[in-house]
């Protein structure tokens, strides 16, 4: 074994370990907010650096680590193939930038005395769970990764425990607990059927299982992952729970959590159950419904965060479309789309947080003239928004084009329907984001209905309402934080909304996210080659399986 | 692979009870449902391990007579996870109680806003759309909306 590969393999577990250790350190440092921030940033920088090494390391074949040196089918394996390393690098980069955004928000809110110190440890635990899920080569370890990230997400979503967050949190927690139970049922069925939980070994043994049983197991797993990925009939929880959370939390959730579900679906489809036509058709129909229903939902909404939540659901459909095609072209385009979508969606939610801060609201009926007052914010919104809609030079267009091409190649009736659906969804998305642009950014502030601005109470003497938002329905009433995107949502004393300048650090972090999104466009060529290679490996299956079993020199099969 | 019929019947019963409880509006019952469903799933995992046998300790019994130790390890992990999740659920149920003095998963905010808009003849009520405003509007009943948060109502 050469030194380079041992380096890669010894770094792999660190992506999970470092955030967990960092979470512990951050918890100890609760009374030292600055140090706590430094620790979390350093940990995430290290994880991003490791992810870069892993991407390079996995370029010539999947890397496998057997934890505790137990050989493959006995012990737990971590597998870093191209798919998982690409996902890891993208998600960790976004996580780091969103952390900077959160720090910016925390320091400009000056909330050093509030109990948000729990944010940093929880955030790092979330990161560890995500990394574990991406690298896991074992079905049960994947479940544990899911639980770790979900547990952290429950805490983050209900941060502050305000009424709206507790309410949204309840839906979120109950739905996700149930989906985890479905996943566990799937694990029990898999174990009962093939007697192993090692992904590579399951994939080799699954062929001997009767087709009916295979289909049943497959559908149970797809249901579990479908809930987590928010695929249409199982997506209703998402737009209800995400918008209430703090802006950085929503940004990271939108970027990561559903994508872990999509990642698991990709693994299930390519590694465990390739060539299952029934499930394939079901997935394609679900993808079509997800795209169209989600986009129609986005068009109907008036709150920016809700618009974005619906586009998030809708664009999950694109990824499922590519995965369901199960051709190298389809899967490759889907992986590219995941990378694109993680960054763009996180950027947009971060921008929504900025809009809320500058305009005092996220409802487009109460915002106007943001482009005039804050041109930078307008650019920050505009670029990722048209990217999401799929305007040509940007990565959203490239991803959608790849998917459409793959669909046309496939040529079946269902695939053509999906191609039509994809184009329609792209237009509807563009309509939804353009509506936000026109109302919140482009129309002059004077165009707002007068009654909207005079009951908000601008006692501070600001003659021109920037965004004529009010902090709460009836600003003098019960809810009284200056803007609700702050961590605690409630508390504080000022009832009057004041126009706030763009906070520097949050803006910088958002610009960073946008820059990452744009750089995906710039390196689209090489990236697409990479995702295509990843997809070819996934569809071929042998690289993954043989890499895992090459480790198992002592292949004493259990049972 | 063989397993005990009694165990399967028990699992089926637990799933039935669990699903019934989860569908209830009372949050405490939902929590109980989650617990029962969790136990049903744990039993399912155990039964996936094949027939029961001797404890899996080397030297105590011949290898063929041992029961599968892996499923027990899985279930242990699952139990710990369920414990943590239940504790969290319990805490937010308590929080709902502290905020609203009730233990009911009430109807959807969005549903209610649609109904109100219809009642008001399509006049759009942005207050309902603003998710940030949820704290000010009551999450429970139309009558309460008047008393708890005067700001939420159109009057």
Note whether A273 and A207 are within 8 A (CB): no
Helix, strand and coil percent figures for chain B, each rounded to 5:
65, 5, 30
How does pLDDT run across B60-72, given as a tens digit for each residue?
788 778 888 888 8
Reference B48, options A40, A220, A54, A448; nearest CA is: A220
B85 and A151 within 8 Å at the Cβ level: the answer is yes
Is A114 exposed, middle or buried, given 0-12, 13-18 or 19+ CB atoms closer than 10 A?
A: middle
pLDDT attached to residue A7: 80
Tell me which chain B residue has its CA closest to the CA of residue A158.
B92
Note whether A65 and A77 are within 8 A (CB): yes
Q: How many CA atoms lie within 13 A of A227 on its CB side?
A: 21
- Report the SS3 class of residue A236: coil
Note whether A431 and A307 are within 8 A (CB): no
Give the C-alpha separation, A256 to A20, whole Å.
Answer: 18
Q: Which helix (H) or strand (E) holds B93?
A: helix B69-100
Give the C-alpha separation, A322 to B81, whole Å.
Answer: 33
pLDDT attached to residue B153: 36
Shortest distance, CA B121 to any CA of chain A (angstroms): 18
pLDDT attached to residue A93: 92
> Considering just the CA atoms, what is the radius of gyration of chain B in Å?
24
For A167, the closest of B68, B70, B139 (CB atoms) is: B139
Chain A positions in Cβ-Cβ contact with residue B85 (cut-off 8 Å):
147, 151, 154, 173, 177, 180
Is some CB atom of chain A closer than 8 A to the CB atom of B125? no
Note whether A382 and A133 are within 8 A (CB): no
Give the C-alpha separation, B152 to B155, whole Å.
Answer: 9
Tell me which chain B residue has its CA closest to the CA of residue A176.
B85
Chain B positions in Cβ-Cβ contact with residue A484 (cut-off 8 Å):
132-133, 135
The DSSP annotation for A274-311 comes to TT-HHHHHHHHHHHHHHHHHHHHHHHH--BHHHHHHHH
Confidence of residue B105 (pLDDT cuts 50, 70, 90): low
pLDDT attached to residue A467: 39
pLDDT < 70 positions in chain A: 1-4, 72, 107-116, 447, 449-500, 551-559
Of residues B98 and B117, the one with the higher pLDDT is B98
Which residues, at least 6 apart from A503, have a Cβ–Cβ distance to it below 8 Å?
Answer: A104, A105, A108, A354, A357
pLDDT attached to residue A514: 87
Note whether A205 and A194 are within 8 A (CB): yes
Note whether A229 and A316 are within 8 A (CB): yes
What is the pTM (predicted TM-score) of this model? Answer: 0.83
And the tokens for B124? 């759009």
Chain A positions in Cβ-Cβ contact with residue B117 (cut-off 8 Å):
none
- Which DSSP letter does residue A437 get? I
Strand partners, A363: A303
List the beta strands (DSSP E) in chain B.
Answer: none
Give the C-alpha separation, A312 to A310, whole Å.
Answer: 5
Give the C-alpha separation, B129 to A167, whole Å.
Answer: 16
Q: Which helix (H) or strand (E) holds A51?
A: helix A33-57
Chain B positions in Cβ-Cβ contact with residue A479 (cut-off 8 Å):
132-133, 135-136, 151
Give the C-alpha separation, A504 to A521, whole Å.
Answer: 26
- Lowest mean pLDDT: which of A98-102, A331-335, B24-28, B118-122? B118-122
Chain B positions in Cβ-Cβ contact with residue A457 (cut-off 8 Å):
none
Tell me which chain A residue has its CA closest to the CA of residue B72.
A188
B108 and A173 within 8 Å at the Cβ level: the answer is no
> In percent, how much of chain B has pLDDT > 70?
69
> What mean pLDDT, rounded, does chain B reach?
75
Shortest distance, CA A74 to any CA of chain B (angstroms): 10
Find tokens 């958002």 and name the residue: A510
A484: left (phi over 0), alpha (psi -120 to 50) or beta: alpha
Is A24 exposed, middle or buried, given 0-12, 13-18 or 19+ CB atoms closer than 10 A?
A: middle
How does pLDDT run across A382-400, given as a tens digit for each residue?
888 888 888 888 888 888 9
A187 and B45 within 8 Å at the Cβ level: the answer is yes
B81 and A191 within 8 Å at the Cβ level: the answer is no
Shortest distance, CA B27 to any CA of chain A (angstroms): 9
How does pLDDT run across B123-152, given as a tens digit for each residue?
544 444 444 444 444 333 343 333 333 333
Q: How many CB atoms lie within 10 A of CB A112?
A: 11
């Amino acid at each position: 074994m050469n030194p380079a590969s041992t380096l890669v393999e010894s770094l792999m577990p660190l992506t999970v370990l470092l955030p967990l250790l960092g979470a512990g350190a951050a918890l100890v440092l609760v009374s030292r907010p600055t140090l706590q921030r430094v620790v979390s940033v350093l940990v995430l920088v290290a994880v991003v650096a490791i992810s870069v090494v892993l991407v390079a390391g996995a370029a010539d074949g999947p890397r496998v680590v057997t934890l505790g040196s137990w050989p493959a089918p006995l012990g737990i394996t971590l597998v870093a193939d191209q798919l998982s390393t690409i996902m890891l690098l993208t998600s960790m980069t976004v996580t780091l930038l969103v952390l900077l955004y959160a720090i910016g928000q925390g320091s400009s809110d000056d909330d050093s005395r509030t109990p948000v110190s729990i944010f940093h440890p929880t955030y790092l635990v979330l990161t560890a769970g995500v990394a574990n899920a991406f690298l896991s080569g074992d079905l049960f370890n994947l479940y544990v990764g899911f639980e770790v990230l979900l547990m952290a997400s429950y805490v983050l979503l209900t941060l502050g425990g305000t009424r709206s967050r507790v309410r949204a949190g309840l839906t979120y927690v109950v739905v996700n607990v149930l989906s985890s139970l479905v996943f566990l049922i799937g694990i029990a069925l898999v174990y009962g059927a093939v007697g192993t939980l090692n992904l590579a070994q399951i994939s080799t043994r699954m062929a001997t299982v009767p087709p009916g049983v295979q289909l049943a197991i497959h559908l149970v797993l797809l249901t579990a992952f479908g809930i987590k990925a928010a695929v249409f009939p199982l997506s209703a929880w998402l737009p209800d729970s995400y918008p209430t959370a703090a802006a950085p939390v929503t940004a990271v959730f939108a970027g990561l959590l559903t994508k872990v579900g999509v990642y698991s679906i990709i693994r299930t489809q390519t590694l465990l159950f390739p060539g299952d036509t029934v499930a394939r058709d079901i997935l394609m129909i679900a993808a079509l419904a997800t795209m169209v229903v989600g986009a129609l939902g986005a068009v109907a909404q008036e709150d920016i965060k809700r618009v974005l939540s619906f586009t998030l659901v809708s664009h999950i459909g694109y990824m499922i479309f590519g995965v369901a095609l199960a051709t190298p072209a389809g899967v490759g385009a889907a992986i590219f789309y995941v990378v694109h979508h993680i960054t763009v969606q996180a950027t947009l939610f971060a921008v929504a947080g900025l809009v809320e801060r500058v305009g005092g609201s996220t409802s487009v009926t109460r915002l106007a003239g943001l482009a005039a007052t804050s041109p930078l914010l307008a650019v920050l919104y505009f670029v990722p928004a048209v990217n999401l809609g799929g305007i040509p030079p940007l990565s959203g267009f490239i991803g959608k084009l790849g998917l459409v091409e793959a669909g046309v190649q496939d040529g079946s009736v269902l695939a053509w329907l999906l191609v039509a659906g994809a184009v329609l969804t792209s237009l509807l998305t563009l309509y939804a984001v353009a509506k936000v642009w026109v109302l919140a950014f482009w129309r002059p502030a004077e165009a707002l209905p007068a009654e909207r601005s005079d009951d908000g109470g601008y006692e501070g003497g600001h003659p021109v309402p920037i965004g004529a938002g009010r902090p709460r329905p009836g600003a003098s009433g019960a809810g009284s934080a200056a803007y609700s995107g702050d961590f605690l949502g409630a508390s504080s004393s000022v009832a009057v909304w004041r126009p706030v300048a763009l906070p520097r650090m949050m803006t910088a972090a958002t610009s960073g996210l946008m820059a990452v999104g744009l750089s995906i466009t710039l390196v689209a060529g090489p990236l697409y080659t990479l995702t295509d290679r990843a997809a070819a490996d996934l569809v071929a299956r042998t690289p993954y399986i043989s890499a895992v079993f090459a480790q198992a020199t002592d292949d004493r099969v259990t049972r | 692979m063989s397993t005990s019929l009694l165990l399967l019947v028990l699992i089926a019963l637990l799933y039935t009870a669990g699903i019934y409880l989860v569908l209830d509006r009372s949050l405490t019952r939902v929590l109980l449902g989650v617990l029962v469903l969790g136990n049903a799933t744990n039993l399912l995992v155990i039964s996936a391990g094949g027939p029961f046998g001797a404890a899996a300790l080397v030297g105590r019994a011949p290898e063929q007579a041992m029961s599968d130790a892996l499923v027990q390890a899985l279930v242990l992990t699952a139990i710990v996870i369920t414990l943590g999740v239940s504790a969290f659920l319990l805490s937010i149920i308590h929080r709902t109680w502290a905020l609203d003095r009730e233990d009911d998963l009430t109807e959807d905010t969005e549903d209610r806003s649609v109904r109100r808009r219809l009642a008001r003849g399509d006049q759009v009520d942005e207050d309902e759309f603003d998710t940030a405003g949820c704290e000010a509007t009551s999450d429970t009943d139309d009558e309460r909306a008047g008393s708890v948060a005067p700001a939420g109502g159109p009057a």
